[in-house]
Amino acid sequence: MLSEQLLKTSRRRSFTNYLMKKRKLMVNLNINDQFISVPAGTTVLAAAQKLKITIPTLCNHPDLCVAGNCRVCVVEQKGARTLIASCATPVSEGMDIHTNTLKVRNARKHIVELLLSEHRSDCTKCYKNTKCELQALANEFAFGDTIFLDLVEDHQYSIDRSSPSFIKDDSKCIRCQRCVRTCSELQYISAIAVANKGAHQKISSFHDRPMSHVVCTNCGQCVNRCPTGALVEKTYIDQVWDAIYDPEKHVVVQTAPAVRVALGEDLGYDPGERVTGKMVSALRQVGFDSVLDTDFSADLTIMEEGTELLTRLKKALVEGDKKTRIPMFTSCSPGWIKFIEHKYPDFLPNLSTCKSPQQMFGALAKTYFAKKRKLDPSKIVSVSVMPCTAKKFEADRPEMRASGYKDIDYVLTTRELAVMIKQAGIDFRVLKPSNYDSIMGESTGAAAIFGATGGVMEAALRTAYEIVTGREVPFNNLNITPIRGLEGVKEATIKIEGCTPEWKFLEGVELKVAIAHGLVNANKIMKMVKQGKAPYHFIEIMACPGGCIGGGGQPIPTSTEIRENRIKAIYSEDEHMILRKSHENPEVMILYKEFLDKPNSHKAHELLHTHYVERDDY
């Protein structure tokens, strides 16, 4: 028995060594008469990209597995009987590839024309006009006469507008299946799948139900990767303009941390450019009456959530309260909230009861802010600009009416704000930066990093550690680097020493935390928790890859490199702030003194906390 196990182990090691050697092997080939040497396993498409040779694609996406569905990327290989899909073909020694022969161009032209024959081409009215990948390829390959019939009218296409977050238009779908792969590979949801075959093939939900009635988290990652207008966010631009033009309304706008490091991408800037001050100036020129900051309520979230965590630890560790649920999960991400409601409802008591910063802001805008500014709350229109399509769903939840009104009236994505700035005729590049308005406009660097995965945890630790010990967290310049980065699941342990008398029960405790981003990674952590194998006290989970900077409402395209640049900008924003700990925000302190009394007070629970509901898992 032992010898068999040793033999199996030896074989596994030999196979592992073989794979490692194979990866180190270099393959030589020619593409368009240019020589290149690339590692074995590299696709022809990737090799061409290294030579700066453009090969068009539609189904291919850097975040997703290879599919080879659309065949737009076909190239000619010398000696091969047929054209090959460059995205799905690994290089081989001595390959001679040509990407622009007559045979290749005719094939691409016919493929694009076939796609267009079943595509409702109302491009000038489409939300994705000028940003549609199919439109770009049509401009290159399919102009002029076509030999194919227009089959759009022969199909009974449907448009699903049931979701408050996005619209699914089958008449624009090219069945590339990016959305299907995104939903299964990145988000572990599979809300949509391929149904039927041949001419009847479509992307469908479970039993073809409306998207509002299936297990969908509204995260919008499918929208971010759709190459056409088949999936777009549900836009509320016209409703916001109507409110701005209404002289009876006072229109308040808040902007999320991740918006300021991504908005520039839709306005001519490179990914990762910080445009905070210009964005504030643009919002004033658009016509908003009060330009305020979600970062204010992010700082407030830390005060409420940090206090809740410390209270739970005291009940669990000192009082032995068996009803107190540890680990505590963050509750800032509405996509994550809906995921746990569907997939792990038994663990809803582990969620922090804190609302997200967006919803805390909304509740205060029509109570505290209205009182301070002597405004009729019924005349306030509360608008938020978010990196997230799930925020549109969150604003519509029945739990989010603590102010006596709908706390957030309209949610715009980063992309929608860019459209409004262009509609207003604003030259964004020449704007002079300005500051947010006072009363719910002041913030700290801890709030800014909410936009990156690990940011909520880092902000919470900066405050909680100082409350318990009276000292700053023991990391250089407050930067808790072990919980930063794009690794899917991160873990860290901080030993608490030198506690103040009030928190002496935490002396010597090793606080164990974990961070996950993307729901496929959230599922990994939840499995550990369910199996009793998670030793953590506090877990941060964000639904989108990279956190909010990779949200479903951010500028398109998205990739690991783009998300990394946005994260760098988020941390740069933090380091350029004068105040970098949430408990130092002076406006938050005034809020408690004048209105809320203290963190987790009765008033705070009425306005800033909530509970969530179990949902069906089908």
In CATH, what number is assigned to the domain containing residue 530? 3.40.950.10
- pLDDT exceeds 70 at position 608: yes
Q: Which residues pair with 514 in a beta bridge?
A: 491, 539
Mean pLDDT within 578-589: 97
Asked if 514 and 541 sit in the same domain, the reply is yes
Q: Which of 109, 278, 391, 490 is catalytic?
A: 391
Residue 142 — pLDDT band, cuts 50, 70, 90? confident
Mean pLDDT within 260-280: 97
Residue 30 lies in a domain: no
Percent of the chain surpassing pLDDT 90 = 90
Distance (Å, whole) CA 298 – CA 254: 11
pLDDT of the residue at 40 = 95
Mean pLDDT within 356-360: 98
Asked if 413 and 524 sit in the same domain, the reply is no
Structural domains in the chain (count)? 2
Mean pLDDT within 168-190: 96
Asked if 510 and 393 sit in the same domain, the reply is no
Mean pLDDT within 581-600: 98
Distance (Å, whole) CA 132 – CA 126: 9
Mean pLDDT within 554-562: 97
Q: Which residue range is the domain that position 333 belongs to? A: 297-356+442-608
Sheet with 95-98: strands ordered across: 34-39, 26-31, 95-98, 74-77, 84-85
The reply to whether 399 belongs to the active site is yes
Is-contact 312 328, C-beta < 8 A? yes
Residue 144 — pLDDT band, cuts 50, 70, 90? confident
Asked if 424 and 312 sit in the same domain, the reply is no
pLDDT of the residue at 475 = 95
Contacts of 305 by beta carbon, 8 Å cutoff, 6+ apart: 330, 331, 352, 354, 460
Write down which residue in 430, 450, 480 finishes a domain.
Answer: 430
DSSP state letter for 96? E
Residue 14 lies in a domain: no
End-to-end CA distance of the chain: 45
Distance (Å, whole) CA 63 – CA 38: 21
Residue 208 lies in a domain: no
pLDDT of the residue at 23 = 56
The reply to whether 22 belongs to the active site is no
Is-contact 451 503, C-beta < 8 A? no
The reply to whether 548 belongs to the active site is yes
Residue 601 — pLDDT band, cuts 50, 70, 90? very high
DSSP state letter for 235? P
Q: Which residue matches tokens 């939300």?
A: 127
Write down which residue in 430, 462, 478 finishes a domain.
Answer: 430
The reply to whether 305 belongs to the active site is yes
**418: amino acid identity, one letter:** A
The reply to whether 87 belongs to the active site is no
> 228 — alpha (psi -120 to 50), left (phi > 0) or beta?
beta
Distance (Å, whole) CA 128 – CA 229: 5
pLDDT of the residue at 17 = 53
pLDDT of the residue at 6 = 37
Q: What is the CATH number of the domain that holds 278?
A: 3.40.50.1780
Q: Which of 76, 233, 305, 540 is catalytic?
A: 305
Q: Which residues pair with 489 in a beta bridge?
A: 516
Q: What 3-state DSSP class applies to 183?
A: helix
Handedness of CA 78, 80, 84, 88 (dihedral sign): negative
- pLDDT exceeds 60 at position 15: no
- pLDDT exceeds 60 at position 398: yes
Q: Which of 226, 332, 354, 544 is catalytic?
A: 332
Least confidently predicted of 198-212, 293-307, 417-431: 198-212
Pick from 332, 360, 354, 405: nearest CA to 254: 360
Q: What 3-state DSSP class applies to 267?
A: helix
Asked if 422 and 451 sit in the same domain, the reply is no
Contacts of 613 by beta carbon, 8 Å cutoff, 6+ apart: 341, 348
Number of helices (H) and strands (E) in the chain: give both, helices first.
20, 18
Q: Which of 319, 399, 502, 561 is catalytic?
A: 399
Mean pLDDT within 591-607: 97
Q: What 3-state DSSP class applies to 193?
A: strand
Asked if 547 and 469 sit in the same domain, the reply is yes
pLDDT of the residue at 145 = 75
* Cis bond before residue 557 (omega within 30° of 0): yes
Is-contact 246 378, C-beta < 8 A? no
Residue 498 lies in a domain: yes
Asked if 536 and 600 sit in the same domain, the reply is yes
Q: Which of 394, 416, 458, 573 is catalytic?
A: 394
> 254 — alpha (psi -120 to 50), left (phi > 0) or beta?
beta
pLDDT of the residue at 16 = 45
- pLDDT exceeds 80 at position 208: yes
Percent of the chain surpassing pLDDT 70 = 96
Nearest-5° Cα angle at 239, 234 to 244: 140
Residue 261 lies in a domain: yes
Distance (Å, whole) CA 3 – CA 371: 79
Is-contact 529 327, C-beta < 8 A? yes
Residue 35 lies in a domain: no
Residue 123 lies in a domain: no
Q: Which of 76, 265, 304, 308 is catalytic?
A: 308
Residue 198 — pLDDT band, cuts 50, 70, 90? confident
Write down which residue in 430, 452, 469 finishes a domain.
Answer: 430
Residue 594 lies in a domain: yes
Least confidently predicted of 79-93, 138-152, 279-293, 413-427: 138-152
Asked if 301 and 335 sit in the same domain, the reply is yes
Asked if 347 and 364 sit in the same domain, the reply is no
Q: Which of 163, 331, 352, 582 is catalytic?
A: 352
Asked if 501 and 398 sit in the same domain, the reply is no
Q: Which of 273, 548, 573, 581 is catalytic?
A: 548
> What's the chain's average pLDDT?
94
The reply to whether 273 belongs to the active site is no
Asked if 304 and 400 sit in the same domain, the reply is no
Per-residue pLDDT tens digits for 453-488: 999 999 999 999 999 999 999 999 999 999 999 999
Asked if 455 and 584 sit in the same domain, the reply is yes
Per-residue pLDDT tens digits for 62-114: 999 999 999 999 999 999 999 999 999 999 999 999 999 999 999 999 999 99
